[in-house]
Structure 1
């Protein structure tokens, strides 16, 4: 039987490699760079350049009008021996401690209450966040009336329970307590909203399992809520450290009526003179812009050190 001749299959066409596109230069994306340039230009003008100039200024003596005089490291050496600067650091740390720890405690309790609320959640969130968006100057004026010696609300409550009046804005510890109370009132609601966001990320199954195992609310909080909230707690602690150590408006407005030396003296015995208040006093009262720049960099170093210390302490407790 004759067989049909084999027909060879034509070879498959070889795909040609795609044509290489010419490389586009940076200038071809100029529209994109122009769209994002305003942020970087503003950051350069109001961020990097002032920071760099302050560092340069800290090595010079300058009153703001005349010519600069190179001073080298002499201003930093004087800063290390400046008792007023160290006193302002002590005042700042005391006020920070009096304000931060009660604030974090109240913010956590408030967040737990908001998380368990069923009705009017948004109303509560707005009410607790309102102090943070209120003008610090207006609030400080109100708190100045609240802590007034003769007509203040706090002294009226003390007299109502049979206690003596306290000159809050004329005694060293009274000044610190008044400033810390103002800062606590201002930041509790803000941090409560942050804690609330962290609480809402915790799975509800964990709480159901804890209730089935017979755990009460206190055990549930310390065994489940607090360990899982440690990253949020660390964030709040670091942010509170940075903002608390840079307090300025609160003591400046609250104590300006009691300051005898200058607007930035911090009240009697300089008890409310924080680090930033001392920086403003040296810069704008004494017109010593060079030394003021050195003080500013000293403040920056203190804030960085205490932020790192708080970070390490919370992390170590988390590892334990």
Structure 2
């Protein structure tokens, strides 16, 4: 008891520090631990940003400088000429031909691609046998090298001895001029793109479908809704944010298409009459065939601006659709609450 009383007297009343107690001083290890909690997360993620600055931001800035110059690759220097490179690109008829071909191939590939991806995802969402095998199989075309896919399909769509034309000839139909007619060349290239990306998009949509609560489908079945009604009333509204993401990524990839049109023939220049010349293929021809890196850099920035504008439009549509979907969800919950 004496020891306890003495201890309380030295420390002062409960809840009040003793006036004789020395102020607490943090040791070096405690200060280091405190700074470690604040600084270490930034140190852990800094390698990514350092590498991105070296291989990403610096080439972008360097390309922007070159786009305003008549660049000489041998001397690694150039003469400042302002917007002349941009004016040359915009006044070149091949640029508008390439832009038209790019959008044509993009539309022919994106629309069937999304429809097929939705269908495959809906089938994989069912309770079928060997689900893991089928889900893995649809991703195999995406794993294949783009050049290998392009070479295989370019032989399939050959004008003289291609597989497709041989089948058409055997059944009594006229062969299709895949490498001469602009429309059919776009169809062939779009088929290559669809072959690679349908399975990838299908798995993304499948993940979104499996996130939909099963209770919704059970309630719809009790109410007498058939499979198509459940798909349009439950699945599609739930997939809207994911569909918007898939559309945005498909748009960016479609505007940057290069491997398929470059491997569609032996020359890689977009056809004799630029039937399937795309913007990226036109950029490659200017940069590595004509060795004019100033014009190639200007075209790269024009393509970047086009993708940026389309991306902003998609972002505006995304926000509006998500806001509308959220408002409808609140309205439905209020109606349910009022019924109760």
TM-score (norm 2): 0.83
Residues 203 and 289 of structure 1, relative CA distance in 2, 3 Å threshold: same
Partner of 2:225: 215
1:206 equivalent among 200, 204, 216: 216
State the distance in 2 between where 1:298 and 1:26 align.
Answer: 45
Residues 13 and 164 of structure 1, relative CA distance in 2, 3 Å threshold: closer
Deviates more, 1:285-294 or 1:77-86: 77-86
Partner of 1:285: 289
CA offsets 1:255-288 (integer angstroms, 9 cap, x no match): 2x2x4xxx3x201311111111111111111111
Displacement of 1:182:
0.3
Alpha-carbon contact 1:169-1:178 (below 8 Å) kept: no
State the distance in 2 between where 1:40 and 1:314 align.
Answer: 28
Residues 32 and 101 of structure 1, relative CA distance in 2, 3 Å threshold: closer
1:40 equivalent among 42, 45, 49: 49
Partner of 1:161: 171
State the distance in 1 between where 2:213 and 2:40 align.
Answer: 45
State the distance in 2 between where 1:165 and 1:51 align.
Answer: 46
Alpha-carbon contact 1:99-1:181 (below 8 Å) kept: yes
Displacement of 1:63:
3.2
Residues 20 and 210 of structure 1, relative CA distance in 2, 3 Å threshold: farther
State the distance in 1 between where 2:194 and 2:312 align.
Answer: 22
Q: Is there any run of 5+ residues in structure 2 with no aligned partner, and where?
A: 1-8, 326-340
Q: Is there any run of 5+ residues in structure 1 with no aligned partner, and where?
A: 1-8
SS at match of 1:268: coil
Residues 312 and 158 of structure 1, relative CA distance in 2, 3 Å threshold: farther
Taking the TM superposition and a 5 Å limit, the aligned residue runs for 1:1-320 are: 11-12=13-14, 14-15=16-17, 19=24, 21=26, 35-66=44-75, 67-255=77-265, 257=266, 259=267, 263=268, 265-313=269-317, 319=324
State the distance in 2 between where 1:12 and 1:170 align.
Answer: 94
Displacement of 1:303:
1.2
CA offsets 1:282-301 (integer angstroms, 9 cap, x no match): 11111110111000000111
Alpha-carbon contact 2:180-2:275 (below 8 Å) kept: no
Displacement of 1:117:
3.5
CA offsets 1:30-72 (integer angstroms, 9 cap, x no match): 8776654432332122111101100111111113113311011
Residues 119 and 19 of structure 1, relative CA distance in 2, 3 Å threshold: farther
Q: For this pair of structures, how many residues does the alignment match?
A: 306
Residues 269 and 314 of structure 1, relative CA distance in 2, 3 Å threshold: farther
State the distance in 1 between where 2:15 and 2:181 align.
Answer: 94
Displacement of 1:83:
1.8
- Measured on the aligned residues, the alpha-carbon RMSD in Å equals 2.6
State the distance in 1 between where 2:192 and 2:153 align.
Answer: 7
Deviates more, 1:41-50 or 1:88-97: 41-50
State the distance in 1 between where 2:303 and 2:35 align.
Answer: 41
Displacement of 1:20:
5.8
SS at match of 2:234: helix
SS at match of 1:69: strand
